[in-house]
Chains A and B, each alone.
Chain A
Amino acid sequence: MTVARRLVGFNLLTGIVLGIAFYYAGWYGGHHVVGPSLDYFGDIDYNEVSVFLAYLGGVIGFLIGLGFLNYPIARLRGYPPTLREKETEGVGRYFSLCTDHKVVGIQYLWGIGLFFFIGGLNAMLIRFELLRPEHQVFSAGTYLTLVGLHGTMMMGMMTSGILGPFGNYLVPLMIGARRMAFPRIEALTFWLLMAAGAILETTIFFGGFPTGWTGYVPLANEANAGMDNYILFFALVGISMTLLGLNMIATVVTMRAPGLTWTRLPIFVWGVLSTAVLMVLAAPVLVATLAMEALDRTAQTSFFIAAAGGSNFLYQNLFWVFGHPEVYILALPGFAIVLEILPVFSRKPLWGYRLAVAGLMGVALLSWMVWQHHLFVSGINGDLRPFYMLSTELISIPTGFTFICGMMTLWRGRIRYSVPMLFCLGWFFNFLLGGLSGVFLSDVPSDVTTHGSFFSMAHFHYTIMGGLVFTFMAATYYWVPKMTGFQLNDRLGKIHFWSMFILFNSTFMPLFAAGFLGQPRRVVTYTHGLQFLNDWVSVSAFGLGLSLLLFLYNLVYSLAFAKVPAPANPWASKSIEFQLPSPVPVHNFDKIPVFSSDPYGYGESPAPIAVPAGAPAGRD
């Protein structure tokens, strides 16, 4: 057992080495085997096929190097199956294929965090370029690449931003299970996402891509090889999302402990479930759409080329059939986290449990019926616009359920203003403004001016950054002590909250005005009259970046240096994960618990929600 053996034994390092080797094998194959046989690539310097083959090879090599083939090969050779891999190893398990859902959760937390900060860096560069109304540092094409990198990274990575770290870590604990239904698939979703993130960022070596996160054709057909990175990234994210969703649904439906009826399920698990359903249904549409786009670019088909019998409307429809559920995939886990955390710090039961569940499910259902509001002025189905206006506005009813349940949970409570609670309250403010600005966008006459402007950009940052990222922070401050066993610094947390809340609003509120005053999205130049507004926004955005760095500092300082041990139940929560030791042992439960109530019985009964009376400890 030496260092040398560890290094070659199927981990991140071997994954990267094999990934690079397979990448060049694919590149060679594309250039020297496939490329020459495709005369339509004529005399240009690269061909799209080689880019696709190289990256697909790289992903396969990466997964082989991580050891994803070991299990099927072992089974083929007749070895007995194992559901647990590397769970008892030391730090190395965080850098390898590990089937412990708690390890995967922590891998997700840092992995997603890394790409969140890369996406944020791109946002800083965008705001730097917009300090002056005219071109200054980046060329017009690079600016578009930055916009695309920021948008695609955030929209792609943050879909798993809560289900990845907190869903994987908490769902088995909350339902009293020892693992996820498919632990190996669980690990696969994470490593696919990491491969995808690397592919997206390397687009800068292939000329970038000009389309933003929507990837509209025909522009995407015209674009450089960097466009293929976008296609591969989103396709891999789509596959990862589908698998993640399937895994979550299977786990919640089949692996609940005895006594955990549907009405006793923590609301967070309901949020995960509704999101997972959306993921499973929406992401395959994206993967199929991108497969068509990849064929348009490589095999010279014409799914989306109007002049050759295809339709660019087809792409817009397919993309938004995915894309609108996608934004609720981002928002719903946030709703659930707010409703999960509010009772703990209001010291009251969750008010209107069934209404809250109905709200989550109602949003999930309605999100399938609204996608053409992204195409209100596109000239598609002009006579269907009143319907989409109605369905879009109907979404505010189930969203309102979340609001009333949260507000009534606070009502007459004994509110403790700890950091997770502050972020949840921040969510109410942000999501209220996001929702009310959505009223203008859903209304066709008003949308004519706001469509495609900074107004809509501010709107979805209020709902996604103000909604998802704020609740991500709430969840981090709330659960990371449980996940790591160490407390996060409270003082730094409070400074982080207030700076982030103020600077977030200072960044995005002026953009509503910029949109109404005529600044379209994704432009590198704007009229001189809007410079003050844009400068204000840029400066605030830099401050927001610093505030997020403070969060990173808090994480590193608290978890690596201060190391104040966290009590098992720092928030006096009734939820079952807080009845376990911190950090949670590998097998979660010595005995499978039997549930007797939901975890919201504050002020009702001092009895625990579950007793460990089930099956004795076993391997699985």
Chain B
Amino acid sequence: MRSGAKLLLVGLAVVVGGVLIGLYVSKLTKQNASAAYTWPVKNGANGPEVNITIQTVAAVGPKLSPNPEWVSYLIQKPSGEWARETVWKLPANATVHVTIYNFDGASALRNNYLARPQGVDNNQIVVDGKTLDVLPPDDASHTFAVPQLGLIVPVAPVTDDMKNQCDYAPCSMSNAHRTETFTFHTKGPGHYRWQCFVPCAAGWIDGFGGPMQTIGYMDGFLDVS
């Protein structure tokens, strides 16, 4: 073979290899990640305030995920649209008011101690207007927990006897649901991960596979800056 042809061949191999590596890296950077969503911030009397609205659903549905049967958290943007984004930008030292609409049934906690709300104002949650110090552990549907902030909030379940249960997200407010509110405070800048402690991933041993170990479903970050 002439050396020109060989050079061409080697050049081709380098280009193909480079393209493959590029595709590989871009696939990896996109994998299991969701883009950071910046919550709108208001300036309150005691520093910045943020209102967060979340729904938790048993099956995220084909519209929002390639894994339609996975359990997931969804956020509501100001436009009213529901999105599956779990990395949130929040201001430091802010007061965060959270409203969770839960459309999912109960699956018991593995560690019952986590059924007690902690790290939120008064260590209390408000479920459908009722203030609670503790949720019976077997009733917990999910938890919203930020371990680095000491924040643990159990989420009250939809019971089987409730009518018009939601099959796939995004669910509407006419579906059976529970409304839960609480308030917590962010600290200094940093990456704080959040997760669910209820073994709620259907189909996996211990209920801890799939959506429980994939950012964008039951796990995410508070990107505090």
Query: Is A–B contact present in the complex under a CB 8 A cutoff?
Result: yes
What residues of chain A have their CB less than 8 Å away from a CB belonging to chain B?
41-45, 121, 125, 134-135, 137-142, 145-146, 204, 207-208, 210, 218, 221-224, 305, 525, 556, 560-561
Interface-lining segment among B42-50, B138-146, B200-208: B200-208
**Cα of A223 to Cα of B201 in the assembled complex, Å:** 11
**Cα of A146 to Cα of B204 in the assembled complex, Å:** 22
A204–B28 touching, CB < 8 Å = yes
> Which of B68, B203, B206 contacts A218 (CB under 8 A)?
B206
Closest approach, in angstroms, between the C-beta of B66 and any C-beta of chain A? 8
Q: Which residue of B lies closest to A525 (CB)?
A: B191
> Which of B10, B31, B205 contacts A556 (CB under 8 A)?
B10
Counting CB contacts under 8 A, is B136 at the interface? no
Contacts of A525 in B (CB 8 A): 191
A560–B10 touching, CB < 8 Å = yes
- A134-B190, A141-B213 as given contacts; A221 in contact with B205, CB under 8 Å: yes
B213–A42 touching, CB < 8 Å = no
Contacts of B32 in A (CB 8 A): 139, 141-142, 207-208
> Which of B27, B69, B205, B209 contacts A224 (CB under 8 A)?
B209
Contacts of B24 in A (CB 8 A): 121, 204
Counting CB contacts under 8 A, is B158 at the interface? no
Closest approach, in angstroms, between the C-beta of B8 and any C-beta of chain A? 12
Q: Which 6 A-B pairs have the closest CB atoms?
A: A44-B203, A222-B209, A139-B33, A221-B205, A141-B32, A139-B32
Q: Which residue of A lies closest to B201 (CB)?
A: A222
A41–B203 touching, CB < 8 Å = yes
Contacts of A44 in B (CB 8 A): 69, 202-203, 210
B133-166 to A contact mask, C-beta < 8 Å, 1/0:
0000000000000000000000000000000000
> Which of B33, B68, B212 contacts A45 (CB under 8 A)?
B68
Q: Which residue of A lies closest to B221 (CB)?
A: A135
A560–B191 touching, CB < 8 Å = no
**Cα of A121 to Cα of B27 in the assembled complex, Å:** 14
B31–A208 touching, CB < 8 Å = yes
A138–B28 touching, CB < 8 Å = yes
Counting CB contacts under 8 A, is B215 at the interface? yes
B31–A141 touching, CB < 8 Å = yes
> Which of B3, B202, B214 contacts A561 (CB under 8 A)?
B3
**Cα of A207 to Cα of B33 in the assembled complex, Å:** 11
Counting CB contacts under 8 A, is B130 at the interface? no
A223–B213 touching, CB < 8 Å = yes
Give me 13 A-to-B residue pairs in the complex whose CB atoms sit less than 8 angstroms apart, sorted by A's number: A42-B203, A125-B25, A135-B221, A137-B29, A138-B33, A139-B31, A141-B214, A207-B31, A207-B32, A218-B206, A222-B206, A224-B209, A561-B6
B210–A224 touching, CB < 8 Å = yes
Closest approach, in angstroms, between the C-beta of B210 and any C-beta of chain A? 6
Counting CB contacts under 8 A, is B172 at the interface? no
Closest approach, in angstroms, between the C-beta of B9 and any C-beta of chain A? 8
Counting CB contacts under 8 A, is B131 at the interface? no
Contacts of B202 in A (CB 8 A): 42-44
CB proximity to A under 8 Å, residues B173-225: 190-191, 193, 202-206, 208-210, 212-215, 221
Q: Which residue of B lies closest to A133 (CB)?
A: B191
**Cα of A26 to Cα of B20 in the assembled complex, Å:** 27
Contacts of B210 in A (CB 8 A): 44, 224
Q: Which residue of B lies closest to A121 (CB)?
A: B21
- A140-B215, A221-B205, A223-B213 as given contacts; A146 in contact with B3, CB under 8 Å: no
Closest approach, in angstroms, between the C-beta of A120 and any C-beta of chain B? 11
Counting CB contacts under 8 A, is B67 at the interface? yes
Contacts of A138 in B (CB 8 A): 28-29, 31, 33
**Cα of A250 to Cα of B133 in the assembled complex, Å:** 72
Q: Which residue of B lies closest to A201 (CB)?
A: B24
**Cα of A138 to Cα of B31 in the assembled complex, Å:** 8
Closest approach, in angstroms, between the C-beta of A114 and any C-beta of chain B? 10
**Cα of A125 to Cα of B209 in the assembled complex, Å:** 25
> Which of A41, A139, A224 contacts B215 (CB under 8 A)?
A139
Known: A45-B69, A145-B31, A222-B209. 9 other contacts (CB 8 A): A44-B202, A44-B210, A142-B28, A146-B28, A208-B31, A208-B32, A223-B213, A224-B209, A305-B205
Closest approach, in angstroms, between the C-beta of B42 and any C-beta of chain A? 28
A204–B31 touching, CB < 8 Å = yes
Contacts of B67 in A (CB 8 A): 45
Contacts of A137 in B (CB 8 A): 29
**Cα of A146 to Cα of B213 in the assembled complex, Å:** 15
Contacts of B193 in A (CB 8 A): 140
Q: Which residue of A lies closest to B31 (CB)?
A: A142
**Cα of A469 to Cα of B24 in the assembled complex, Å:** 25
Contacts of B6 in A (CB 8 A): 560-561
Closest approach, in angstroms, between the C-beta of B68 and any C-beta of chain A? 7
**Cα of A221 to Cα of B221 in the assembled complex, Å:** 25
Closest approach, in angstroms, between the C-beta of B10 and any C-beta of chain A? 6
Contacts of A208 in B (CB 8 A): 31-32
**Cα of A45 to Cα of B208 in the assembled complex, Å:** 16
**Cα of A137 to Cα of B28 in the assembled complex, Å:** 9
Closest approach, in angstroms, between the C-beta of B86 and any C-beta of chain A? 10
A142–B203 touching, CB < 8 Å = no
Contacts of B214 in A (CB 8 A): 141, 207, 224
Contacts of A141 in B (CB 8 A): 31-32, 213-215
Closest approach, in angstroms, between the C-beta of A110 and any C-beta of chain B? 12
Contacts of A121 in B (CB 8 A): 21, 24
Q: Which of the listed residues B3, B21, B208, B214 has the most CB atoms from chain A within 10 Å of its own CB?
A: B214
> Which of A139, A146, A223 contacts B209 (CB under 8 A)?
A223
Contacts of B209 in A (CB 8 A): 221-224
**Cα of A525 to Cα of B27 in the assembled complex, Å:** 22
- A44-B210, A139-B33, A556-B10 as given contacts; A218 in contact with B205, CB under 8 Å: yes
Q: Which residue of B lies closest to A146 (CB)?
A: B28
Contacts of B28 in A (CB 8 A): 125, 138, 142, 145-146, 204
Contacts of B3 in A (CB 8 A): 561
Closest approach, in angstroms, between the C-beta of B144 and any C-beta of chain A? 18
> Which of A45, A135, A210, A556 contacts B213 (CB under 8 A)?
A210
Contacts of A134 in B (CB 8 A): 190-191
Q: Which of the listed residues B68, B193, B205, B212 has the most CB atoms from chain A within 10 Å of its own CB?
A: B205
**Cα of A59 to Cα of B212 in the assembled complex, Å:** 32
Q: Which residue of A lies closest to B10 (CB)?
A: A556
Contacts of B205 in A (CB 8 A): 218, 221-222, 305
**Cα of A137 to Cα of B25 in the assembled complex, Å:** 10
B68-81 to A contact mask, C-beta < 8 Å, 1/0:
11100000000000
Closest approach, in angstroms, between the C-beta of A294 and any C-beta of chain B? 14
**Cα of A211 to Cα of B209 in the assembled complex, Å:** 12
Closest approach, in angstroms, between the C-beta of A92 and any C-beta of chain B? 15
Contacts of B204 in A (CB 8 A): 221-222
A222–B213 touching, CB < 8 Å = yes
B1-39 to A contact mask, C-beta < 8 Å, 1/0:
001001000100000000001001101110111000000
**Cα of A191 to Cα of B31 in the assembled complex, Å:** 30
Contacts of A305 in B (CB 8 A): 205
**Cα of A223 to Cα of B204 in the assembled complex, Å:** 8
- A207-B214, A218-B205, A222-B206 as given contacts; A43 in contact with B25, CB under 8 Å: no
**Cα of A204 to Cα of B67 in the assembled complex, Å:** 15
Closest approach, in angstroms, between the C-beta of B92 and any C-beta of chain A? 15
